[in-house]
Amino acid sequence: MLASYDGEGATREGVEQEFNDNQFTTNPYFAAYKFINNSDKDRLIGQAMLRYDFSDWLYIQGRIGEDFYLNLATSVTPTGTAYRPAGDMSEVSLKFLEINSDLLVGAQRSFNENFGVNIGVGANRLDRKSERINPTGGTFVIPYLYSLGNLLSRTGSGRRTPFLEKPHQPRRGLVQ
């Protein structure tokens, strides 16, 4: 029988109940009930456009769009796991913002029903910012208390790390 006293793949002491000689083959009940792998994401996407027609052939148009999200992922190898008895934990917090805007002045002229010209001149700007916080560590001081503050050893980045900033893209013109 794979399930133990608690029905979740652990002994009464909370240690993984092993079912073969390989400690890296995790008891599936223990993995399903004791491991923690959570992810929470909040996202906001929006856009707006404004256009003004000076005449039936000349216009100016501005657009802006944004994409913003926050993502928090938590992973815990619990106390009592056969291949890592003291357990470990990692958290990844990612914040991302992208704003894309452009301005276009355009002219459109038809000379007859078979021939016409569209001309557009404009500029585009793309701004991206990201920030990552990734504290990790191992050995829980108080067994079964899964908190970053309860880790004996800490690795990874517990501070804010901007890993991508991409300001301003070049201007572009368009003729069709």
Q: What is the pLDDT of residues 74-131, one digit of tens each?
A: 999 999 999 999 999 999 999 999 999 999 999 999 889 899 999 999 999 999 998 8
**Which residues lie below 8 Å from residue 99, measured CB to CB, with a gap of 6+?**
64, 65, 66, 125, 126, 127
CA distance 118 to 120: 7
pTM score > 0.75 for this model? no
List the domain boundaries for the chain: 1-34, 35-175
State CA 95 to chain mean position distance: 7
Backbone torsions φ then ψ of 150, nearest 5 degrees: -100, 10
